[in-house]
């Protein structure tokens, strides 16, 4: 996961969720971080930016709080939070263990909620002190969370929860200068490289549609001041395509003005379904 501050010099706090052991130090910070997080920070610095790596468990309140604190102690302010924690434990529903359900929901959904909560507390305090921030949050959902995906009930439910969290946060935090949006990316990552190794493999030549770098420009724009006025929206990003996703909204409706009988309700429902659009298919169906 990559979370942190973004401004003209693009400082970042890079973390990959629950830590694997490698130690780095920063101002008022000495934490264990894993190699991928350190590599991300190294790449940013090599490109001329500023970055530190953080190894706290962002699915705990203490870990999420320390992440926000690390950004503030290092850079003095927090402008943008990008939530991107996740991993897979795929099973068909009847074979899905409770532990695998809990683990995926914990990392994806709770791992978005807690950093958002602690960042929002900081931004609210800034706004109340008369320093209303220009703040941005980019959450990471998935097509599985929008349409569902066979063999991924836990992942789909968690990613759908992230969309709902995004909508609520956008409505609640706008008064403090905070915009909250979500992306549903399709790209080759450490999480997908085994499960979808063949379909997401890089081509020998030409445009690499599954390169993670294809998603980055949209995330950067949503995390910047240039996205002023855009909040509570969900974007799908894959290859060279960006799509604004349109979620649940009222469709065909019937009002009897009194209580329906089961038979009447069934007749009305079938009539309304005939007038409604057909939902997109579940992935893998």
Tens of pLDDT, residue by residue over 72-120, are: 999 999 999 999 988 899 999 999 999 999 999 999 999 999 999 999 9
pLDDT of residue 202: 79
Give yes or no: 159 in active site: yes
Does the pLDDT value for residue 23 go beyond 60? no
Cβ-contact 33, 53 below 8 angstroms = yes
DSSP 104-144: HHIIIIIHHHHHHHHHHHHHHHHHHTT----EEEEEE--HH
Q: Residue 276: which residues within 8 A CB-CB, separation 6 or more?
A: 251, 252
| Distance set, CA 282 to CA 86, 193, 273, 285 (Å) | 21, 21, 18, 5
pLDDT of residue 209: 84
Calculate the average pLDDT of the chain: 87
Given the residues 155, 156, 176, 227, select the one marked as catalytic. Answer: 155
pLDDT of residue 195: 59
What is the bridge-based pairing of β-strands 178-186 and 135-140?
Answer: parallel
Mean pLDDT within 166-176: 98
Give yes or no: 142 in active site: yes
- Give the separation between CA 224 and CA 103, rounded to whole angstroms: 32
Residue 239: helix, strand or coil by DSSP? coil
pLDDT of residue 37: 86
Alpha carbon 184 to its chain centroid, in Å, reads 8
Given the residues 110, 149, 156, 159, select the one marked as catalytic. Answer: 159
Does the pLDDT value for residue 153 go beyond 50? yes
pLDDT digits (tens, 9 = 90+) for 195-219: 556 666 777 888 788 799 999 999 9
- Give the separation between CA 153 and CA 106, rounded to whole angstroms: 14
Q: Among 130-139, 179-188, 189-198, 234-243, whose mean pLDDT is lowest? A: 189-198
pLDDT band at 13 (very low <50, low <70, confident <90, very high): low
pLDDT band at 14 (very low <50, low <70, confident <90, very high): low
Tokens 């090599």 belong to 46
Strand partners, 241: 238
The sign one gets for the Cα dihedral 2, 210, 194, 156 is positive
Per cent of the chain over pLDDT 90 is 73
pLDDT of residue 191: 63
Single pTM value for the model:
0.84
Give yes or no: 75 in active site: no
Given the residues 142, 149, 156, 227, select the one marked as catalytic. Answer: 142
pLDDT of residue 151: 96
pLDDT of residue 116: 98
């Amino acid at each position: 996961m990559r979370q942190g501050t973004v401004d003209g010099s693009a400082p970042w706090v890079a973390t990959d969720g629950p830590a694997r052991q490698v130690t780095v130090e920063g101002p008022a910070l000495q934490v264990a971080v894993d190699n991928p997080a350190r590599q991300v920070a190294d790449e940013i610095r090599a490109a001329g930016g500023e970055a530190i790596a953080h190894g706290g468990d962002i699915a705990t309140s203490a870990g999420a709080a320390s992440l926000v604190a690390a950004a503030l102690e290092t850079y003095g302010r927090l402008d943008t939070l990008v939530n991107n924690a996740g991993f897979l434990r795929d099973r068909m529903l009847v074979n899905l263990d409770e532990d695998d359900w809990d683990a995926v929901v914990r990392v994806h959904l709770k791992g978005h909620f807690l950093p958002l909560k602690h960042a929002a507390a900081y931004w609210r305090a800034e706004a109340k002190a008369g320093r209303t921030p220009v703040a941005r949050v980019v959450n990471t959902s998935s097509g599985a969370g929008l349409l569902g995906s066979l063999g991924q009930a836990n992942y789909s439910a968690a990613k759908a929860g992230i969309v709902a969290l995004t909508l609520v946060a956008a409505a609640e935090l706008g008064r403090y200068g905070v915009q909250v949006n979500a992306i549903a990316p399709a790209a080759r990552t450490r999480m997908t490289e085994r499960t979808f190794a063949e379909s997401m493999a890089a081509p020998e030549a030409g445009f690499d549609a599954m390169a993670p770098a294809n998603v980055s420009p949209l995330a950067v724009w949503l995390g910047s001041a240039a996205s002023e006025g855009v909040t509570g929206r969900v974007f799908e990003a894959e290859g060279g395509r960006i799509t604004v996703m349109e979620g649940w909204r009222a469709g065909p409706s019937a009002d009897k003005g009194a209580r329906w009988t089961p038979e009447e309700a069934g007749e009305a429902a079938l009539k309304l379904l005939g007038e409604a659009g057909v939902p997109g298919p579940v992935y893998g169906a």
